[in-house]
Amino acid sequence: MNKKKKMKPTPEWGLRTYIMGILNITPDSFSGDGFLSGSWSIDNAIPQTYQMVEDGADILDIGAESSRPGSTPISPEEELDRLIPFLSELLGQNLSAIISIDTYKSGIAETCLDMGADWINDIWGLRADKELASVVSDKGAAIILMHNRMQSDQVLDYGNLGKSYSGAKYEDLIGDIKKDLEASINIALKAGISEKKIILDPGLGFGKTVNQNLTIIKRLDEIKAMGFPVLVGPSRKSFIGKVLNLPVDKREEGTYAALSLCIAKGADIIRVHDVKGNARIAAMTDAVVRETQ
């Protein structure tokens, strides 16, 4: 007997906060949670993925190339070699979660969308690969457009607090972020991507100083006012470590605080490592700011 295909959530923006769980199919995730670290196998990764969904993940974001400061880019072939076996097994599990692929490469996106993935999460906002927008449009997928001015050769090393991309030049931080996101939105629309399939991410931790990241959180409502759903991903990042003087494995409380503030300022999706804890934070914050109870 064929198993009945589980329905994936269709986000109803504004009603509640959606939880995106991070799945790093890499050996060098900045947070140390990469599935290729240590004794990884699909057999032990799939149960962890099931646990994320059970803990409250609406979306699973799968990345096979690290974007941590100081990481080495990999070839499309290596990225696919990491992604395809895991994604094939994952899609066969008939999970209810939306499957998002964290990539900026059109060939990777096309392969994964053809396999059954739902969203593309592009850290370069459609500006790194000119073909990606048309791929996403042709496949009818949703796209996350992240703001990013990081320069890979400008990395600050804080010792046990980790590494960070140094701050890019801004004349007006929020104004410049909005202009850059508008440019990405225009690329998407020109390629035929529906407005309803565009999600914005201000890019916390990507080419911003500690104070700039804090300002983005404080003024996130100005990004929300652009008229699109907003995703934020401060989970365990170095600006939290700098504020609290804590290494990456001790930043959950700081992450909770940052995400609760982001939800209060209009965030629709939170991208997190610790699904269970952050799902509870989101539910509590929603009860206050969205009056979900």
pLDDT value at position 30?
41
Please name each of the domains of the chain with its CATH number: 18-287 (3.20.20.20)
Question: Residue 162 CB: number of other CB atoms within 10 A?
Answer: 22
Listed in sequence order, the residues at least 6 apart from 142 whose beta carbon sits closer than 8 Å to its beta carbon are 118, 119, 120, 136, 197, 198, 199
Q: What is the pTM of this model?
A: 0.89
Q: 98 — alpha (psi -120 to 50), left (phi > 0) or beta? A: beta
Sign of CA dihedral 156, 27, 230, 248: negative
* pLDDT tens figures, 84-141: 999 999 999 889 999 999 999 999 999 999 999 999 999 999 999 999 999 999 999 9
pLDDT value at position 74?
81
Point out the residues that are catalytic: 237, 271
Element housing 101 (H / E) = strand 98-102
pLDDT value at position 167?
63
Asked if 139 and 149 count as a contact pair (C-beta separation under 8 A), the reply is no
Q: Could you tell me the pLDDT band of residue 34, with boundaries at 50, 70 and 90?
A: very low
